[in-house]
Chains A and B, each alone.
Chain A
Amino acid sequence: GQQVMQIPQYQHVQEGEDFTTYCNSSTTLSNIQWYKQRPGGHPVFLIQLVKSGEVKKQKRLTFQFGEAKKNSSLHITATQTTDVGTYFCAGHGTSGSRLTFGEGTQLTVNP
């Protein structure tokens, strides 16, 4: 079955440093989504990428979808304490009915 791997599992940064998490799928994806889960909270949708090579930005967050539609990355510039949480990538396969989630990257930011 489809597998989605995400690295690193944990990342500790000083406030103001950059952060990147990477996501790789065992199969070609129809789209990739990113979610953020604050400590003690539930996953919240951030963005969806659909096209090969697509790049989208949300303020300090930059999302990329690989040319082969099997990998993706999330980059945060100049982290803030409000960025703390776990970031999950999730991919839809060809059916579009199920999302396969990566294990997540837990980000902590030291002020």
Chain B
Amino acid sequence: NAGVTQTPKFRILKIGQSMTLQCTQDMNHNYMYWYRQDPGMGLKLIYYSVGAGITDKGEVPNGYNVSRSTTEDFPLRLELAAPSQTSVYFCASMGGQGYEQYFGPGTRLTVT
């Protein structure tokens, strides 16, 4: 199993551009999450999904959108990128309520 994979690994965006961060898991997990981690800080939940077709906002959803059309994929869309969105983005999946989360390697995004 590859676990949780994320693409791209690195990206530089100009202010106002848009992009989609891809996340795929091959563990048949229903629960998937997007976090952002600013330098030296903890993880902030952006959006999460408890199954295909179901998404919900986390702590910091503004400026982002998600969709969950399949169990495997949970893309994160950034519209109109801003410097405040410079961060490392982690996708994670979880096999069931109260279980541990498996993290992808992260996408390092810089907005200039």
- A residues near B, CB below 8 A? 1, 6, 30-31, 33, 41-45, 48, 88, 90, 92, 95-104, 106
| Contact flag A103-B103 (CB < 8 Å), given A96-B97, A96-B98, A98-B58 | no
Contacts of B90 in A (CB 8 A): 42-43
Smallest CB-CB A-B distances: 6 pairs:
A96-B97, A103-B42, A96-B98, A45-B100, A42-B103, A101-B43
Are A45 and B102 touching (Cβ within 8 A)? yes
- Nearest-neighbor residue (CB-CB) of B103 within chain A: A42
**In the complex, which of the residues A44, A98, A103 contacts B48, with contact meaning CB atoms closer than 8 Å?**
A98
Are A99 and B106 touching (Cβ within 8 A)? no
Instruction: Count chain B residues whose beta carbon lies closer than 8 angstroms to a beta carbon of A.
Output: 23
Are B101 and A92 touching (Cβ within 8 A)? no
25 contacts between A and B (CB under 8 A): A6-B42, A41-B105, A42-B103, A42-B104, A42-B105, A42-B106, A43-B43, A43-B92, A43-B101, A44-B103, A45-B102, A48-B100, A92-B97, A92-B98, A96-B97, A97-B97, A98-B33, A98-B48, A98-B58, A99-B101, A100-B45, A101-B35, A101-B42, A103-B41, A106-B40
Q: How far is the CB of B100 from chain A (nearest CB, A)?
A: 4
- B residues near A, CB below 8 A? 31, 33, 35, 40-43, 45, 48, 50, 58-59, 90, 92, 97-98, 100-106
CA distance A103 to B42 in the complex (A): 4
Contacts of A96 in B (CB 8 A): 97-98
Q: How far is the CB of A67 from chain B (nearest CB, A)?
A: 20
- Nearest-neighbor residue (CB-CB) of B40 within chain A: A106
